[in-house]
Amino acid sequence: MRRIDSPANALLKEIRELSKKSKKRRETGVFIGEGERLLRDLPLSSLVQIFIAEDYQGTLPEGLSDTDERIVTLGKKAMESISSTESQQGIVAKIAIPRVEEVSGDNFLLLEDIQDPGNLGTIFRTAEAAGVSAIFMSRNCTDIFSPKAVRSTMGSLFRVPFRIVPDLREVALLLRRKGVKLYAMHLQGQEVFYREDFIGPSAFLLGNEGNGLSKELTKLADCLLRIPMKGKIESLNVATATTVLLYEVFRQRSL
């Protein structure tokens, strides 16, 4: 088993660069994941390399032998140099960006220009829990492979099919041609979300935290939904709104 003690090691320099630069992640086709819980269910076919602290007492990804040649042991300073969290967990992995060839199902999310990595990661977690078939993201969404977004998914990144697409409008139109009804969460929505019937094939369009959904996508929606609220609150955080909506869909489909 290989061991590295110096933070100046070229391999560790690459890990730090992958953590900080989305361009580097795109060019190499890999990203960085950290933490026992996140990596527990990592598909071994996606694992490029894994780094563990010399005193690591946790578990390795399921099915990974402790003699696997992809494992590298790090001294204390070396591990500290690549950890992106305040509470270092002692395990960091270099992971191949997943490729989704086909998308199927009848429950989709279309995300336009989501900017906060915590929001995006939370939406992934909620999508998995609520049974979303796939997620489509615009290119201007924050990088789902950034360390904060990856952590926020809590592993859902490995289990929910998703695609980053150049034009969400084309995706929306394609889904409509396949008989999928398009719903948009919108401040000007006239329909209270829980009064709608989501049993049939559905796609939900959600927009940017500051600007909401673009006019172009809003025009494509078959129905504009709203979440009723009291007090002086005008809108909910996009991740919160997504959770409220998806669990109504889940409830209806579970009856």
Q: Which of 96, 127, 150 is the last residue of a domain?
A: 96
Q: Is the pLDDT of residue 203 over 80?
A: yes
pLDDT recorded at residue 232: 86
Residues written for the chain: 255
Q: Is the pLDDT of residue 1 over 80?
A: no
Q: Are residues 112 and 69 in the same domain?
A: no
Please write the tens of the pLDDT for every residue from 46-67.
Answer: 999 999 999 999 999 999 998 9
pLDDT recorded at residue 187: 84
Q: Are residues 170 and 58 in the same domain?
A: no
102 falls within a domain? no
- Domain of 185 in residue numbering reads as 107-254
DSSP 200: S
Angle at the Cα of 123 from the Cα atoms of 106 and 207, rounded to 5 degrees: 85
Q: Are residues 153 and 229 in the same domain?
A: yes
Q: Of 1-5, 87-91, 174-178, 224-228, which gets the smallest average pLDDT?
A: 87-91
Q: Which of 96, 115, 140 is the last residue of a domain?
A: 96
pLDDT recorded at residue 103: 85
Confidence of residue 26 (pLDDT cuts 50, 70, 90): very high
186 falls within a domain? yes
Q: Are residues 77 and 162 in the same domain?
A: no
95: left (phi over 0), alpha (psi -120 to 50) or beta: beta
Q: Are 79 and 87 in contact (CB under 8 A)?
A: no
42 falls within a domain? yes
Q: Are residues 59 and 123 in the same domain?
A: no
101 falls within a domain? no
Q: Which of 96, 116, 151 is the last residue of a domain?
A: 96
Q: Are residues 58 and 165 in the same domain?
A: no
Please write the tens of the pLDDT for every residue from 85-112.
Answer: 777 789 999 999 988 777 899 999 999 9
Q: Are residues 151 and 231 in the same domain?
A: yes
In the chain, % helix, strand, coil (3-state, to 5) comes to 35, 20, 40
Instruction: Calculate mean pLDDT across residues 37-44.
Output: 90
Say which CATH number the domain at 183 has: 3.40.1280.10
pLDDT recorded at residue 33: 95
* Count of structural domains within the chain: 2
- The pTM assigned to this predicted structure is 0.92
Q: Are residues 145 and 114 in the same domain?
A: yes
pLDDT recorded at residue 48: 97
Contacts of residue 56, defined as CB under 8 A and 6 or more positions apart, other chains included, come to: 90, 91
Q: Are residues 181 and 138 in the same domain?
A: yes
